[in-house]
Amino acid sequence: MQEEIITSILNRHDTLALLPTGGGKSLCFQVPALLMDGICLVVSPLIALMKDQVENLKRKGITAVALHSGMSRAEIDRLLDNCINDHVKFLYISPERLQTELFQARVKQMNISLLAVDEAHCISQWGYDFRPPYLQIASLRELFPDVPVLALTATATPQVKDDIMDKLEFRKKFQVFQRTFARNNISMVVRKAEHKEKKLLEVLQKVVGSSIVYVRSRKATTDIAELLNQKNIPATVYHAGLNFQQRSQHQDDWLKGKCRTMVATNAFGMGIDKPDVRIVTHMDIPENLEAYYQEAGRAGRDGKRSFAVVIWNEADLDVLATKVKQTHPEIPYLKTVYQALANYFQLAVGSAEGESYDFDLHDFSERFGFHVYEVYGALKKLEEEGLIQFNESFYSPSHVSLLMERGALYEFQVAHEKFDPIIKMLLRLYGAQLFTEFVKISEVQLAKGLKITYDELKSTLLHLHELKVLIYQSVIDNPQVTFVLPRQDADHLPLSLERLKARKRLAEDKMEAMKNFITSTHRCRMNLILDYFGEQSWENCGICDVCVARKKKNNQTEVAEVQHEILSLLAEGPLTIEELETRINPADADMFVDIIRELVDSGQLEYDEVWKLRVTKD
């Protein structure tokens, strides 16, 4: 539906587009923006995704910048000036930055052509990731009443869809485009197992190809990756505790097929476009169907048969309930954590608006005697209430921009001979763009070229920064806490008790819907998903575990024949599932795999050390 959405924008209609994960949402605003005069303002809560899109646009010769937490006032000042002077085509901004005086004063001077709102469900308190700063977007409509708005999301219930259009003040003649939530090539499977790791090994042996395994904790990523590697299933890990280089390397190894399986927390996946993921497995029950659908939807983007598997046991239901409770702490606890943050950073009331600080969650929790998971829930709730922003994994490379014009810079070089070599080296390596934008630099390369130490180079750049010759921001690779509002008096935090209670009830309702999804044994799983998102379907998918079980029940004779063939062939010697399937050539491949699973579960078959199937030895 990209063409229809683009046409709607070019006809200046407010537009809501619901496209699944991997559905090409960014193209829907990038193409019309390039055909229109002025700047496209893109609101997005995902800093990593903003940075990726900005870099992708720059590689195509399109000017784009991003404003987000972790940037200095001087950086923001320069970038906003460039937007006013028509040097920029796309301005990506985090919702928290919309409220700042600096942005509010400058945006009035910009020629805005299109307002794109990514992850638009964040504007609705009925959505699963509500962010109050999104509510500020409507104020931009007062400044630019004729500018069309494009709201984009992958997941929204009917209530959330209506709320998005209401909160963004859609005008008459708006248009809504929605792709079906059905993924006809993904077989959704739920397996209840006491030994979940053993079941995971079986699942990964049955399905060949690239895979993602989602777990809840960083430790679990390491433990499961080690187990998979021991069983000759190449695996790597991804979580917010890794530094940027580690995350990039592990992601690259997986994308290029150097390792088959990515074991990750939910920090992984946003913006990843790998078409041939054959299986996504959840080892813990997701908190809601929106999160599950997005993560499961990373399988099978090439349209080929793929699997989304949840492996669970009874204990996981208690863990899920505890997790939901931790993410909705009581107001006194929120006040206590907020006061501790103020003490941790030594902030006075009224200070620190828009300021970002390196943050070590474990050190903070230990220092104040908190439980890490409870603190994490409180930070996310304080973020949801618009007080702070918490980024678990934040990376920004070193970058430089010259403040002086060419003439003044030349005079400075003549008057300060000791700085002349480094300025010449910067100009030779990075060119004239240093005068108009921020350029990524390599301190190692610069120091080598100047034949000085890394520390000497860094000291010189900081000196030039203090002299206001240039702006120098050294690399950041730590979690960050940003104070969206000035530091408040903890006893009088602007928290909405009514909203907090409503959000908790909503989270509990979403948890119940998720529990119903995994415990249901009588209804097509894809139909359960469609029903949740307000889409009716009278046709079963035919490929989920419930549909396959129903077909087996209706075809008992065929099942018995396939079971007999499997046991007879394996009596002659061990075979892989692929070899067995080739020999039998079953009419229904899903049913065939399910029959093998049942034979393994019942103890009639087992896997040997090289993952071939054999008849179980007495």
Q: What pLDDT, on the 0 to 100 scale, is given for residue 270?
A: 73
- DSSP result, 517-536: HHH--SS-HHHHHHHHTT--
- Check: CB of residue 396 under 8 Å from CB of residue 475: yes
- Check: CB of residue 66 under 8 Å from CB of residue 478: no
Q: Which amino acid is at 80?
A: L
| pLDDT average, residue stretch 517-523 | 94
- Nearest Cα to Cα of residue 566 among 512, 602, 524, 539: 602
Q: Is the pLDDT of residue 412 over 90?
A: yes
- Nearest Cα to Cα of residue 47 among 327, 399, 474, 392: 392
| pLDDT average, residue stretch 239-244 | 86
Helices of type H across 168-302: 196-206, 218-230, 244-255, 289-296
**Cα–Cα distance for residue pair 171/148, rounded to 1 Å:** 9
- Nearest Cα to Cα of residue 156 among 326, 6, 21: 21
| Res. 501 pLDDT band, cuts 50 70 90 | very high
Of the segments 42-51, 61-70, 279-288, 602-611, which one has the largest average pLDDT value?
A: 279-288
| pLDDT average, residue stretch 446-470 | 94
- Check: CB of residue 115 under 8 Å from CB of residue 107: no
- Nearest Cα to Cα of residue 599 among 573, 565, 572: 565
- Check: CB of residue 591 under 8 Å from CB of residue 559: yes
Which CA distances in Å does 150 have to 40, 113, 139, 213, 453?
11, 11, 15, 33, 50
- 576-594 b/e (C-beta count within 10 Å ≥ 16 → b): bbeebbeeeebebebbbbb
Q: Is the pLDDT of residue 263 over 80?
A: yes
- Check: CB of residue 261 under 8 Å from CB of residue 228: yes
Q: What pLDDT, on the 0 to 100 scale, is given for residue 468?
A: 92
Share of the chain above pLDDT 90, in %: 66
| pLDDT average, residue stretch 327-347 | 96
Q: What pLDDT, on the 0 to 100 scale, is given for residue 428?
A: 92
Q: What pLDDT, on the 0 to 100 scale, is given for residue 115?
A: 97
**Cα–Cα distance for residue pair 618/605, rounded to 1 Å:** 11
Q: What pLDDT, on the 0 to 100 scale, is given for residue 313?
A: 95
Q: Please report where in the chains the tokens 């709201």 appear, as a residue.
A: 151
| pLDDT average, residue stretch 46-57 | 87
**Cα–Cα distance for residue pair 299/281, rounded to 1 Å:** 10
Q: Is the pLDDT of residue 357 over 70?
A: yes
**Cα–Cα distance for residue pair 543/531, rounded to 1 Å:** 17
Q: What pLDDT, on the 0 to 100 scale, is given for residue 553?
A: 86
| pLDDT average, residue stretch 59-64 | 93
Q: What pLDDT, on the 0 to 100 scale, is given for residue 475?
A: 86
- Nearest Cα to Cα of residue 570 among 608, 605, 599: 605
| Res. 273 pLDDT band, cuts 50 70 90 | confident
Q: Provide φ and ψ at 271, rounded to 5°.
A: 85, -5
| pLDDT average, residue stretch 489-508 | 93
- Check: CB of residue 489 under 8 Å from CB of residue 349: yes
pLDDT digits (tens, 9 = 90+) for 541-558: 999 999 999 988 888 888
Q: What is the mean pLDDT of the chain?
A: 91
pTM: 0.84
Half-sphere exposure of 128 (CA within 13 A, CB side): 22
| Res. 243 pLDDT band, cuts 50 70 90 | confident
Q: What pLDDT, on the 0 to 100 scale, is given for residue 607?
A: 85
Q: Is the pLDDT of residue 594 over 90?
A: no
Q: What pLDDT, on the 0 to 100 scale, is given for residue 518?
A: 96
- The burial class, CB within 10 Å (0-12 / 13-18 / 19+), for 2 is middle
- DSSP type of residue 170: P
DSSP H or E stretch at residue 178: strand 175-178
pLDDT digits (tens, 9 = 90+) for 147-191: 999 999 988 899 999 999 999 999 988 999 998 899 999 999 999
| Res. 129 pLDDT band, cuts 50 70 90 | confident
Rounded to a whole number, what is the distance in angstroms from the first to the last CA of the chain?
A: 58
Q: Please report where in the chains the tokens 């690399």 appear, as a residue.
A: 475
- The burial class, CB within 10 Å (0-12 / 13-18 / 19+), for 490 is middle
* Beta-strand relationship, 306-312 and 186-192: parallel
* Beta-strand relationship, 90-93 and 64-67: parallel
Q: What pLDDT, on the 0 to 100 scale, is given for residue 618?
A: 67
- DSSP type of residue 257: T
Q: Is the pLDDT of residue 229 over 70?
A: yes
- Check: CB of residue 327 under 8 Å from CB of residue 287: yes
**Cα–Cα distance for residue pair 51/253, rounded to 1 Å:** 21
Characterise 121 by phi-psi region: left (phi > 0), alpha (psi -120 to 50), beta (else): alpha
| pLDDT average, residue stretch 262-283 | 89
- The burial class, CB within 10 Å (0-12 / 13-18 / 19+), for 271 is middle
